[in-house]
Structure 1
Amino acid sequence: MTRSIYEQVLGAQFENLHPRIQERFGFSSKDHVASIGQGVMDRIWFAKWAALPLAVGASRHIMFPQGGRSIPFTIENYAYQDGHGRETVTWIRKFQFKRAVRHFDATMIYSTERERIVDYLGNKQHLAVDLDITAASNGGIRIRSGDQRFYEGLIQFTCPPQLTGTADVMEWYDEDMKKYRINVLVTNPVFGTVFHYEGSFEAQLIPLKHIPVDAMPLREEARE
C-alpha cells in the first residue's frame, strides 16, 4: 500500500500529529481523494523592498507583492504520480483580493535520493527546495525550507542563501475553532522578513476521479 509522502518522511512521528492533521497529510495517489479547503487569511504582509522579485515570482505562482487583512483563501491538495513515477502532492493556494486572485502554488515529492521531501515552487518547477518536516508539540506539522536549486534547461545551480528566502510553515488543528490554522513566514538572512501570512480554514477530503488540469504544473522537472 502506498503511504503518503508525509508518512514516509515522518515515520513514527506521524502518529504524533493531531488526527485531523493526519487526515490532511495522510492520503496518497492510491486513495483517490483530495483535500479541499477554504477560509480567511487574517493578515498577509510583504516587504516593500522585495516587491520586484516577488512580482517576478508572481508570474510563476511563487508568492506575490500584495498584502491585506481578512483575505478569502482556498487550498487544494491532490495526490498523484507524476510523469517520472514519483508520488506527488499539489499545493494550490489562491488568495482573493478585491481586484485580483493571487496564487502560491507548489508540488511536493518524496525524494528517495535525498531521503526527504523536495518542494517544487511555482507552476513550472524551476525551483526545487529541500524540506525539513517535523511533528510539532501541539499536534501540528512544521515545514522548514533548506537548500534551493534552480533548474532551467541546461542551467542548474544551488541558490546562495543571501539571495533566497527561508520558509517556516506551521499548520495545526485548533480544537476550539474547529478549524485548521496556518502561519507562513519567509525570511532572508540579510534583510529579514520577506513575506508572511496567517489565518484559518476548514478542509475536507472529497472523492476524486480526475485531477483538474489547472492544478497540474505546466512542466515537470526530473532533477531533484
Structure 2
Amino acid sequence: MVSSIYKKTIINYHLLHPKLQKRYQLDRSHTFSGRGTMSEISGGSFLVRMLLKCGVFFRCFFSERGKDIPFTIKNRTCLTEQEHTGVEWNRTFVFKDKKRFFDAVMVYDESEKRILDFFGQPHILLSVLTFEALSDGSLHITSGKQWLLICGKRIPLPKWLSGNSTVCETFDESNNCFTIQVHVENAILGTLFYYKGTFQETEGEVC
C-alpha cells in the first residue's frame, strides 16, 4: 500500500485538525470529493486577466471573477507517465453561463523529499510546494521555485515572472465545513488572483 504523499511532506502533520488529517489521507484506497461556494474570486488587472484567459485551453487558469461561485473539488491518486504516484486536483467553478476548471497533479519527488505541482492538462507550469501544519490545526501551503513546461523541457522562471502562492486551509467546527483561501501574487504585477470559500465532503463522485 502506497502511503499518502502528504504524510511524507507536511511539516508537523500531527498538528493538523483531525478532519484535515483525514482529508489528506490520499492514497490508493482514499479519495476526496467536496462541494461548496467561493464567497469571492477576485484579483488581477485587465492585462493579467487577459493573459489568464489562455489558461482556459489548459484547464488551469481563467479570467472570470465574482462572488458566491459554486465549485466542486475532487482528489484521487493516479499514476504518472513516469510511473510515479501522484494526486489529481480537479476543481470546477460554475459561473452563470460557463464552467471553468483548475486542474493539477501533485507528485512526490523522492530525491528531494518534496511535492511538485504540475498545472494544467497538458501540464504547462511546475511549482515546488511546501506544506506546514500550524498549532491552530490549519494547513499552510506556499510555492517555491517554478518552471514553464514546453515540449518536455523545464524552463526555470525567474522570481519576477513567478506567481507566488499562499494557501490556508482549515476546518470550521461550528459550521462543519472546510475553509480555503488562496492568494497568488507577482513581484511586479501584484495580485494575480485571490479566492476564498467553504466546502463540505460529499459522498461519491462530483461533477
| TM-score category (smaller protein) | over 0.9
Aligned to 1:6: 6
Alignment of structure 1 residues 40-79 onto 2, 5 Å: 40-48=37-45, 49-79=47-77
Aligned to 1:218: none
Aligned counterpart for 1:145 among listed residues 138, 143, 146? 143
Aligned to 2:185: 187
Pairwise CA distance, 1:114: 2.2
Secondary structure, aligned partner of 1:59: helix
The answer to whether the Cα contact below 8 Å between 2:35 and 2:202 also exists between their aligned partners in 1 is: no
Pairwise CA distance, 1:204: 4.3
Alignment of structure 1 residues 59-208 onto 2, 5 Å: 59-153=57-151, 155-204=153-202, 206=204
Query: Structure 1's 18 and 205: CA in aligned 2 closer, same or farther, altered over 3 A?
Result: farther
What is the rounded CA distance, in whole Å, between the counterparts of 2:31 and 2:53 in structure 1? Answer: 30
Moved over 6 A (4+): none
What is the TM-score when the length of structure 2 is the normalising length? 0.93
Secondary structure, aligned partner of 1:68: coil
Aligned counterpart for 1:34 among listed residues 20, 31, 38? 31
Pairwise CA distance, 1:205: 6.3
Pairwise CA distance, 1:57: 1.7
Range moving further from structure 2, 118-127 or 177-186: 118-127
The answer to whether the Cα contact below 8 Å between 2:124 and 2:150 also exists between their aligned partners in 1 is: yes
Query: Structure 1's 191 and 84: CA in aligned 2 closer, same or farther, altered over 3 A?
Result: same
In the TM superposition, what whole-angstrom CA distance separates every residue of 1:53-110 from its partner, at most 9, and x where no partner exists?
2111222122211100000010000112323221211110110000110111110010
Aligned to 1:220: none
Query: Structure 1's 89 and 154: CA in aligned 2 closer, same or farther, altered over 3 A?
Result: closer
Aligned to 1:16: 15
The answer to whether the Cα contact below 8 Å between 2:26 and 2:87 also exists between their aligned partners in 1 is: no
What is the TM-score when the length of structure 1 is the normalising length? 0.86
**Which one-letter code corresponds to 1:181 in the other structure?**
T
Q: What is the Cα-based RMSD across aligned positions, in Å?
A: 1.9
The answer to whether the Cα contact below 8 Å between 1:38 and 1:75 also exists between their aligned partners in 2 is: yes
The answer to whether the Cα contact below 8 Å between 1:144 and 1:166 also exists between their aligned partners in 2 is: yes
What is the rounded CA distance, in whole Å, between the counterparts of 1:18 and 1:75 in structure 2? Answer: 19
Pairwise CA distance, 1:190: 1.5
The answer to whether the Cα contact below 8 Å between 2:10 and 2:130 also exists between their aligned partners in 1 is: no
Range moving further from structure 2, 174-183 or 78-87: 78-87
Stretches of structure 1 that go unaligned for 5 or more consecutive residues are 216-224
**Which one-letter code corresponds to 1:9 in the other structure?**
T
Stretches of structure 2 that go unaligned for 5 or more consecutive residues are none
In the TM superposition, what whole-angstrom CA distance separates every residue of 1:35-55 from its partner, at most 9, and x where no partner exists?
000000000003123012211
Pairwise CA distance, 1:203: 1.1
